[in-house]
Structure 1
């Protein structure tokens, strides 16, 4: 049999040390340099070993802080449903409340961002037309649950109370409720989910290994007259969440 790669050997040793109780959930592990010296391997070997255990949910990386023993995490069942859009306030917060978790998020909004070609196509505007872009990191009980980048045409919301999704009297409300505030009724949304691997930035934010499987959802909201009024790229880690679609049935 071929010899086990060094990083898998180190991963097995770390796994055994965690199982023995040497480190408890939430404990910060010693530095990679210390492990490299202890096991006489390179830093890259330790990094790959830790990334392997992160992908298995045993460890979690925190940008700028280090590597920690992961708290046990149940896989969340996230339901995509028309009903979530009929709730008052934030649909995400309501989703998390239904799972017994506190839903919070961090955000960064940029106004008057020229639309890239693919976003312009999805919004039905010219490439380079101004948009409002908001990047979100959604958390359930403080743990990363999903990422989202939202785009709205600036011509649609500029000069109104909802131009900044997280500012003004409608801060934190869902797209449906915000658009209703300026007289736009959203009739439906289209979502296209696809599996892919996480980018380096996504992996850091979601607490998973780079290259781990995620579900990427391309979502676009449409007004009653058929205009697309918002589009978003949503990223959900497959190891931590399962996505279920609830489809209403119109009775005859």
Structure 2
């Protein structure tokens, strides 16, 4: 049988020591170098092991200070499904998961990266909406959405959180103006929280996050919305759900 990856073995051993109380909550762990010497591995191995324990919620990194034992937190599951909007699920949901705050700006010139994703010109005008998604009144997800004004300008649904279909989602809003959504493409990547993201999410600067680049296309292959979604790994796990065509 294949040998277990060294970082997994180190993470398991280190996690057992944390659970056993060798270091108290809030206590700083030894440096990566000391841990590497103790376990007889390279610093990159201990780095991966510590990163894994941060994802699992046992540890937290503090920029310029080190790694500390954190207060245990339950990770909620976020299910992303082809059947509808993302939803929160857990063995026992707490509070009002799925509430959000939003702020839209109109006539925002598209930066190069957004223009490429929307297949429009750099500087073309868009509606940009920034979201903070909440559970128990605490921010657990961020999103920045861009929609070309060429698609929605002058319609009742130009602002995602205003008008007759406020908060109904891209699919329903676009359908109301004769645009049929056919495809949603999501590209998830691991990343580190920027200082601004950390402040909004109440996590440490540099903590692990999942960053999802989402683009929504109509039946003609035209992008009608793109968004960057940021989810803190210590608080949520993400599951993708797909239907199986039985034909």
Task: Normalising by structure 1, report the TM-score.
Answer: 0.69
The answer on whether the counterparts of 2:94 and 2:136 sit within 8 Å (CA) in structure 1 is no
CA distance in 1, matches of 2:157, 2:64: 45
Deviation of 1:181 after TM superposition, in Å, equals 1.1
The structure-2 alpha-carbon separation of the partners of 1:205 and 1:246, relative to structure 1 and needing over 3 Å to count, comes to same
The answer on whether the counterparts of 1:52 and 1:209 sit within 8 Å (CA) in structure 2 is no
Greater helix percent: which structure?
1
Paired position in structure 1 for 2:44: none
169, 173, 182: which is aligned to 2:177?
A: 182
The answer on whether the counterparts of 1:81 and 1:246 sit within 8 Å (CA) in structure 2 is yes
CA distance in 1, matches of 2:74, 2:108: 38
Deviation of 1:101 after TM superposition, in Å, equals 3.8
Paired position in structure 1 for 2:111: 116
Number of corresponding residues: 189
Paired position in structure 2 for 1:145: 140
The 5 A counterparts of 1:1-252 are 15=26, 52-53=67-68, 57-58=70-71, 73-83=73-83, 85=84, 91=85, 95=88, 99-102=93-96, 103-252=98-247
The answer on whether the counterparts of 1:96 and 1:140 sit within 8 Å (CA) in structure 2 is no
CA distance in 2, matches of 1:245, 1:14: 33
Task: Normalising by structure 2, report the TM-score.
Answer: 0.70
Q: Which stretch shows the higher mean deviation, 100-109 or 194-203?
A: 100-109
CA distance in 1, matches of 2:63, 2:191: 23
CA distance in 1, matches of 2:234, 2:24: 23
Deviation of 1:168 after TM superposition, in Å, equals 0.8
Could you tell me which runs of 5 or more consecutive residues in structure 1 were left unpaired when the two chains were aligned. Answer: 1-11, 17-45, 59-71, 86-90
CA distance in 2, matches of 1:183, 1:189: 18
3-state SS, counterpart of residue 156 of structure 1? helix
CA distance in 1, matches of 2:80, 2:113: 24
Could you tell me which runs of 5 or more consecutive residues in structure 2 were left unpaired when the two chains were aligned. Answer: 1-22, 28-61
